[in-house]
Amino acid sequence: MTGEVTVPGDKSISHRALIFAAVADGRSIARNWLDAGVTARMVDCIRALGIEVEVEPTGSGRATLTVHGRGLYGLTAPDQPLFCGGSATTMRLMMGLLATQPFTSTLDGHEGLRRRPMERIAQPLRQMGAKIETTDGHAPLSITGGRLQAIDYDMPVASAQLQTALILATLGAEGQMTLHQPGPARDHTLRMLRHQGIDIQGEDQGIITFCTEKTALKPLNFTMPGDMSSAAFLMTAALTVPHSEILIQGVNTNHTRAGLLEILQAMGGPIARQNEQSQAGEPVADLSIKAGRLNGVEVKGEIVVRMIDEFPIFTVAALHAHGKTVVRDAAELRLKESDRIAVVIEEMGKLGAKITPHPDGFEIDGPQPLTGAVVRSHRDHRLAMSLAVAGLSAAGSTVVEDAQELNESFPGFIATLQSLGAKIEADE
């Protein structure tokens, strides 16, 4: 694999840009916005609340997003349930936004999303004054919002989705909000709100304090950096396919998202950052990657949160690494689109991988040669792409069934790999 490529806009920032632009005053524009299944559901939800949203595709899962914001209280009650598909981010962020609104809304999604826990978001929103009814802690759920009261809240986990939902709710709350965060979480929301005129303090100490009363959000106008989570598949492919050398341009290297990058470098992976700069308050760099020997590593503690979406593809790197790789403190993986510990072990096992499970992680003794086989995605987009990358270095052919989920977060995944010379194709 050789060549230079880019990846679509950052998924986390794309979600946040859309929802915060909707409640800003005036027109917001976001270029290189991620035009994919996961973001399409939020577009539908925002439009259902009466906000004009324009998505102009520019190719390969990218678009220019224009949102005509109407302020926090310019939303209108939806005339039907808001459908979030399989996107937990959409549902959890919408919970925070709808908690501020003086009407009742219903949120629902696919069967997989109905299995995802929602009480972690609902409980503090109830403390602020919202009325929320869940289905045994899950979707479908109903929210009746209104004027809320800011609270002093100890977050049980370092969750960017929880943090963002509570910040959205605070836009319609009286008083000062204080969040005690037990560890690092993605800080895209905090960076974006500073651009929109919100004063946020104490982030470095894990205590986030802010007050949004009578503060109108300024509209956004920026270009989205490339998604590190999408780049992760290309990085791992380049490291594990012999003689590869690639350059991925314009990737978001935000510290709260760069856990996998740091771990791959700690494993000995020849990865270098080039052309480092700032883009809309986010650090961005080109990533140069060459195939090379990897060594086993221990992954635990705070870095787990900073690479929580990348563990399926990290497993592929670990299977190629010399020595033992141990993952701990990652029980959250069992609450993703699938039980990612269980399904990764099951499907990689079909390729010949031997992985020892733990309640909060797994162990791998490597390197382990892989053999092509028929595997299933379990309708998990990150697992589907990880299995495809594993197949690139496996002996023989690998077939990933139910691979329609590939376009959920990385449209153009197959075409991008093909442009680098990878032997991969999609069945129609």
Reply yes or no on whether 380 is catalytic. no
Please state, in angstroms and as integers, the Cα–Cα distance from residue 297 to each residue in 60, 89, 269, 292, 323, following that order.
35, 30, 12, 15, 8
Instruction: Give the residue from 299, 310, 321, 345 showing the smallest Cα distance to 240.
Output: 321
Instruction: Give the residue from 32, 115, 61, 170 showing the smallest Cα distance to 378.
Output: 115
Strands (E), 11-61: 25-34, 52-59
Instruction: Give the residue from 59, 2, 58 showing the smallest Cα distance to 234.
Output: 2
Q: Exactly one of 108, 187, 309, 380 is catalytic; name it.
A: 309
Query: 382, 409 in Cβ contact below 8 A?
Result: yes
For the CA atoms of the chain, what is the radius of gyration? Answer: 21
135-138 long-range contacts, CB within 8 A, separation 24+: 138/114
Cβ neighbors of 123 (< 8 A, separation 6 or more) are none
Query: 8, 32 in Cβ contact below 8 A?
Result: yes
Active site residues: 309
